[in-house]
Chain A
Amino acid sequence: KNQVEQSPQSLIILEGKNCTLQCNYTVSPFSNLRWYKQDTGRGPVSLTIMTFSENTKSNGRYTATLDADTKQSSLHITASQLSDSASYICVVSPANQAGTALIFGKGTTLSVSS
């Protein structure tokens, strides 16, 4: 069964610190992996999209890595800010599948405190 597992479920860090969120997936074959940021009660916003052949992708203070051999991805946040408090969702797009159905992880809830 295609699954996307994220860890930790929640995380609290101090403003200015770095953190890394993990994503393990069993989707195979897959087309691309995405990280989204979702503020409470709002729609998700795309941070990065990586194809299976890419190892890393950055978007400002956000850097995503992908290891297709171990089926793992991580999202590293540098110099966290209060506005980084949100849910971060890992999403995998299966290959060889009609349409563009995505498989979502349950997300990691990040709280940044001052």
Chain B
Amino acid sequence: DSGVTQTPKHLITATGQRVTLRCSPRSGDLSVYWYQQSLDQGLQFLIQYYNGEERAKGNILERFSAQQFPDLHSELNLSSLELGDSALYFCASSSGSPFNEQFFGPGTRLTVL
């Protein structure tokens, strides 16, 4: 158990809908990262927050947005969902240093029908 929690574990929805994925980092970690892992694809970095502020952006679509709240939990919002958005979405946390290990949560499996 990494100490990072993600909810829900599974999510099934229809095209055009909007969903929110939630992540709680390990106690004391200030940095939260979001990743997307599609079938047969490597993990793709989406976005990083550090202590409530956006720190880095990767291949995140404009239909996706994220935020980190004062209690350090984070939410990833996915809107106007398309079939291709079906994937595993992972959240990871670290204390924020570039060399610090990132601890991954168990992931949310999103299926868009």
Residues on A facing B (Cβ under 8 Å): 4, 31-32, 41-46, 49, 51, 89, 93, 97-107
Q: Across the interface, which residues of A come within 8 angstroms of B92, CB to CB?
A: 43
CB nearest to B35 among chain A residues: A104
Nearest-neighbor residue (CB-CB) of B88 within chain A: A41
The reply to whether A49 and B101 form a contact with Cβ atoms under 8 Å apart is yes
Q: How far is the CA of A101 from the CA of B48 in the complex (A)?
A: 8
Q: A106 CB to closest chain B CB, in angstroms? A: 4
Q: How far is the CB of A33 from chain B (nearest CB, A)?
A: 11
Q: Which of B55, B90, B105, B106 contacts A99 (CB 8 A)?
A: B55
Q: Which residues of B are interface residues toward A (Cβ below 8 A)?
A: 2, 4, 31, 33, 40-45, 48, 55-58, 88, 90, 92, 94, 96, 98-99, 101-107, 109
Given A43-B104, A46-B101, 12 extra CB contacts under 8 A: A31-B99, A32-B99, A43-B4, A45-B2, A98-B55, A99-B48, A100-B48, A100-B94, A101-B45, A101-B48, A103-B45, A106-B42
A105 adjacent to B42 (CB under 8 Å)? yes
- A sample of 22 inter-chain contacts (CB < 8 A) reads A31-B98, A32-B98, A32-B99, A41-B88, A41-B107, A41-B109, A43-B106, A43-B107, A46-B102, A49-B101, A51-B99, A89-B42, A93-B98, A97-B56, A99-B55, A100-B48, A100-B55, A100-B94, A100-B96, A101-B45, A105-B42, A107-B42
Pair B56/A99 contact, Cβ less than 8 Å: yes
Task: Give the distance to chain B from A49, nearest Cβ to Cβ, in Å.
Answer: 7
Identify the 10 closest CB pairs spanning chains A and B, nearest first: A99-B56, A43-B104, A106-B42, A104-B43, A104-B42, A99-B55, A46-B101, A100-B98, A101-B56, A101-B45
| Chain A residue at minimum C-beta to C-beta distance from B56 | A99
CA distance A107 to B42 in the complex (A): 7
Q: How far is the CA of A42 from the CA of B106 in the complex (A)?
A: 5
Closest to B109 in A: A41
Whether A43 and B48, one on each chain, are in contact in the complex, defined by CB atoms closer than 8 angstroms, is: no
Distance between B90 CB and nearest chain A CB, rounded to angstroms: 5
What residue of chain B has the Cβ atom nearest to residue A32's Cβ? B99
Does the CB pair B48–A104 fall under 8 Å?
no
